[in-house]
Amino acid sequence: GPAGADNVSAPAQGGGSAVIDMENMDDTSGSSFEDMGEMHQRMKEEEEEEAEGEAGAGEEEDGEFLGMKGLRGQLGRQVADQMWQVGKRQASRAFSLYANIDILRPYFDVEPVQVRARLLESMIPVKMINFPQKIAGELYGPLMLVFTLVAILLHGMKTSDTIIREGTLMGTAIGTCFGYWLGVSSFMYFLAYLCNAQITMVQMLSLLGYGLFGHCITLFVTYNIHFHSLFYICWLVVGGLSTLRMVAVLVSRTVGHTQRLILCGTLAALHMLFLLYLHFAYHKVVEGILDTLEGPNMPPFQRVARDIPVVSNAVLNTTAKAIALTL
C-alpha cells in the first residue's frame, strides 16, 4: 500500500516537474520571441536612423554645394561691382576734364573796364613791332562782339526791303558770324603755325574777335544811314584801323619778311572782304536761300481778260444765227 502510494506519487511528482519544465519552456520560448521582436524593431529603428543620417548627409552636401554656388555668386557680383565702379570713375574723370567749369573760367574772368580798354585798343594800331605785342587771352569780349554782330545783321535785315517769309534769320546770322570767327581763326592759326608765328589758338580767337569791333561800328552806322560813300569811308577808316591793329600784332610775333607778308596779307584780305560781304552780298544771299527753301515770292494767280480772235467771233455769230433760224 505505501509503496504503491510512493510509486504513484513519484510519477505524479515527475509529471509535475514536466509541467513545470513545459511552463519554463513556454516562458523561455515566449521570451525568445519577444527578443526576436525587439531585435527586429531595433534593426528597423537602426535602418530608419541610417536613412535619416544619409538624408541629413545629403542635405548637408546639398547645403555645401549651394553654399559654394552662393559664394561664387557673391564673388561674381563683387567683381562686377568693382569693375563698374572703376569704369564709372574713369568716365567721370574724362567728363569732368571737359565739362568742368574751372577750365573755362580763366578765359571769361575779366572786368568790364578791361573789356572797354581792349575795345579801344583794337582800333589803335601798334607802333612798336620789334618785340612781341601782348594779346589778351580771354574770350568774353570776342564772344560778346560776335553776338553784337549777329544782332546788327538782324537789325539790318529788318530795316531793309528784305521780305521775311515763314522763318527766322537768326540761324543764318549766327552761322555766318560764328563760322567766320571760328573758321578764319582756325585757318589763321594753322597758317601761323606754318609761318612759325608765336601765337596760340586762344590768342588768335581773341585777336580776331576784338577785330570785329570795327565791323560792328561800320555796319551799325551804314544800316541806319544809307549812303554808299559813307560806307566806303567807314570801311577804309574804321575797318582799316582794326585790320592794321591785327596785322601789327601778327608782324610783331612773326620772324621773316615772306612769312609776315603771307600771314598778314591773308588776314587783311579776309577781314576787309568779310565786311564788304556783310554790307553788299549778305542780304542777297539770304534772300536766295529763302527762295530756294520756300520758293519764290510769286503773286497770287489772277484771271486776266484775253482778246478773242476775229475768226472765233465770226464762227460764234454764224452759229447763233443758224440756231435762231432753226427755232
Would you give per-residue pLDDT tens digits along the chain (327 residues)?
444 444 444 444 444 444 444 444 444 444 454 456 566 667 767 777 666 655 555 544 454 545 555 666 777 778 778 888 887 777 666 666 555 666 777 888 889 999 999 999 999 988 877 888 888 888 999 999 999 999 998 888 777 655 555 445 788 889 999 999 999 999 999 999 999 899 999 999 999 999 999 999 999 998 888 788 899 999 999 999 999 999 999 999 998 899 999 999 999 999 999 999 998 887 777 767 766 665 554 444 343 444 444 545 555 566 666 666 665
End-to-end CA distance of the chain: 189
* Amino acid at residue number 322: A
Residue 325 confidence (pLDDT)? 63
The long-range contacts involving 221-224, CB below 8 angstroms and separated by at least 24 positions, are 222/279, 223/152, 223/155, 223/156, 223/159, 223/160, 224/159
Residue 264 CA to residue 247 CA, distance in Å, equals 5
* Contact by Cβ (8 Å): 154, 170: yes
Residue 241 confidence (pLDDT)? 93
Residue 207 confidence (pLDDT)? 94
Could you give the dihedral angle defined by the CA atoms of residues 265, 266, 271 and 274, in that order, rounded to the nearest 10 degrees? 130
C-alpha cell at 252: 610783331
> Could you give the residue ranges of the DSSP H alpha helices within the chain?
2-99, 101-108, 112-121, 140-159, 170-194, 201-224, 228-234, 240-252, 257-276, 282-294, 310-326
Residue 224 confidence (pLDDT)? 86
Residue 295 confidence (pLDDT)? 55
pTM confidence score: 0.59
* Contact by Cβ (8 Å): 185, 204: yes
Residue 275 confidence (pLDDT)? 92
Residue 105 confidence (pLDDT)? 79
Residue 31 confidence (pLDDT)? 47
